[in-house]
Amino acid sequence: MLGINCRKREEKWRELSATLSASEAALKEQLQSAQRQQQTAEEAIRKQAAAAQVASADLQTLQKRLDEATALAAEQQGRRAKEDQLERDKFQQEIEALKDALEAEKRYHEADVHQLGVEKDQEMETIGLKIKDTIAKKDHQIAGLQTEMESLQARNAELQNCLEKQRQELLMLGS
């Protein structure tokens, strides 16, 4: 009878060990999934940062065009005496339009870069919380299984002691 109970407990012990292993594997998979999500988010942020760099290059091109237009206006001013006023007005309007466009682009890209930073921070915080939650769940499951394992080990030791006593009693009675 006690041998059957020991076998049942031993089977239960093996089942708990398998469950613990399966839980640990599932938690590792969840952690890897969270890490993959983090990598995907970081890749998206890198792509957006690259787009912001392209926009920055566009801003530099606009600035260069503005500088060239300003230089051209100054050169035209020295050559033409009578037509200067009309041409200056034309170039001045183009310069103002370029300045306005440059300022608008600058504001747009500054806001875009700021938004990218905010989104990255939010995504990182979300991922961090998911990782912490996953780890906390894993730790809780492990603690529960360890407590159950310790209880079963103590019960197993108690039953083995009982078996040993009965064996000795039987040996004494048989002698």
With the C-alpha atoms ordered 111, 112, 114, 118, is the resulting torsion angle positive or negative?
A: positive
Cα–Cα distances (Å) from 36 to 32, 60, 67, 142, in that order, read: 6, 36, 46, 24
State residue 141's pLDDT score.
Answer: 93
pTM > 0.85: yes or no: no
State residue 165's pLDDT score.
Answer: 93
- Using the predicted structure, report yes or no on whether residue 147 has a pLDDT greater than 90: yes
Residue 125 structural domain: 2-174
- Using the predicted structure, report yes or no on whether residue 1 has a pLDDT greater than 60: no
Average pLDDT, the chain: 84
- Using the predicted structure, report yes or no on whether residue 16 has a pLDDT greater than 60: yes
Cα–Cα distances (Å) from 157 to 1, 146, 152, 161, 164, in that order, read: 16, 16, 8, 6, 10
Using pLDDT thresholds of 50, 70 and 90, give the confidence band for residue 76: low
Cα–Cα distances (Å) from 97 to 18, 66, 90, 91, in that order, read: 72, 10, 11, 10
- Cα atoms found within 13 Å of the Cα of residue 23, Cβ hemisphere only: 19
State residue 144's pLDDT score.
Answer: 93
3-state secondary structure of 1: coil
Can you tell me the mean pLDDT for 116-129? 91
Assign residue 119 the CATH number of its domain: 1.10.287.1490
Question: 83-97, 99-113, 121-135, 153-167: which range is least confident on average?
Answer: 83-97
Which has the higher per-residue pLDDT, 175 or 140?
Answer: 140
Task: Indicate the number of domains in the chain.
Answer: 1
